[in-house]
Amino acid sequence: MVKHLIYLAAGSGRRFGGNKLLYPLEGRPLFSYGLETLCRAVELRPECELTVVSRYPQILEAARAAGGRAVDSPQSTRGISHTIRAALAALPPVSGEDFLFFAVADQPWLEADTLLRLVDAARPGVPGGTAAFGERVGSPTFFSGALLPELYALTGDQGGRPILRELGPACVKVQAGSLRELEDLDTPPERGETFGGTR
């Protein structure tokens, strides 16, 4: 069983007013927080492999430096489904016993403990799962390798959430430590506002 941790880091951040993934958040580019969290999971769970999908050289270089698979995805401007497809096409053959995890690069408050609980929830017989806080769901998500055709069938700016909804109660919800872990950074912090993370 292989658990592929796929980092989706190709967005343009239109609402942010610029490339938010490279935005310096407390002295570090925004994308680096989530990348560090995924690297921690790979370090602690030998069944995990890291794949980073981006169209930005700085992020791809950081992925290589971290020992991950770096996937250039120029078609990502056409929507997140193209980023997902680029990642899937770059993976070695995926079996029905494997799992595919997707994390987004604009979620700097995600904690490694939450990600590890999600990784551990991916067990034989579990078709998919999502991070949650109460009834609110968010990223990261995971899918059994048996759902690979459904992931390939996504179009435009559609992510995998509809697939998880179709699973109904079979979709496992793994509780995050706080609601903030599920939040993404859509606008630049106000002047004087601090990151306020627990890292």
Please answer whether residues 56 and 21 qualify as being in contact, where contact means their C-beta atoms are separated by less than 8 angstroms: yes
Interval 19-52: pLDDT, tens: 889 999 999 999 999 999 999 999 999 999 999 9
191 falls within a domain: no
Q: What is the pTM of this model?
A: 0.92
Three-state SS for 192? coil
pLDDT band at residue 192 under the 50/70/90 scheme: very low
Q: Looking at the 3D structure of the chain, how many domains does it have?
A: 1
In the block, which residue shows the tokens 């680096």?
Answer: 32
Q: Does a structural domain hold residue 16?
A: yes
143: in domain: yes
Confidence category of residue 157, pLDDT binned at 50, 70, 90: very high
Q: What are the residues whose beta carbons fall under 8 Å from the beta carbon of 95, sequence distance 6 or more?
A: 145
Q: Distance between CA 169 and CA 188 in Å, rounded?
A: 37
Report the alpha-carbon distance of residue 69 to residue 6 in Å, rounded: 9
Contact 70, 60 (CB under 8 A): yes
Confirm whether 199 is domain-assigned. Answer: no
Residue 56: C-alpha distances to residues 12, 40, 118, 149 (Å):
10, 22, 28, 27
46 vs 74, more confident: 46
Q: What is the mean pLDDT of the chain?
A: 92
Say how far apart CA 142 and CA 103 lie, in whole Å.
9
Which range has the worst mean pLDDT, 15-19, 53-57, 183-187? 15-19
- Residue 187 domain-assigned? no
What is the tens place of the pLDDT at every residue in 82-122?
A: 999 999 999 999 999 999 999 999 999 999 999 999 999 99
Q: How confident is the model at residue 185 (pLDDT cuts 50, 70, 90)?
A: confident
pLDDT at position 187, please?
Answer: 65
Q: How far is CA 84 from the centre of its chain?
A: 10
Query: Per the domain annotation, does 37 fall within a domain?
Result: yes
CATH code for the domain of 109:
3.90.550.10
The C-alpha atoms of residue 85 and residue 189 are separated, in whole angstroms, by 32
Q: Domain of 112?
A: 3-182
86 lies in some domain: yes
92, 76, 109: which is closest to 9 by C-alpha? 76
Residues 154-175 have a mean pLDDT of 97
Q: What's the mean pLDDT in 191-196?
A: 45
Cis ω on the peptide bond leading into residue 140 (within 30° of 0)?
A: yes
Task: Look at residue 11 in the predicted model and tell me its pLDDT.
Answer: 77
Count, in order, helices (H) and strands (E) of the chain: 6, 9
- Indicate whether 196 belongs to any domain: no
Query: What CA–CA distance (Å, rounded) separates 191 from 199?
Result: 21
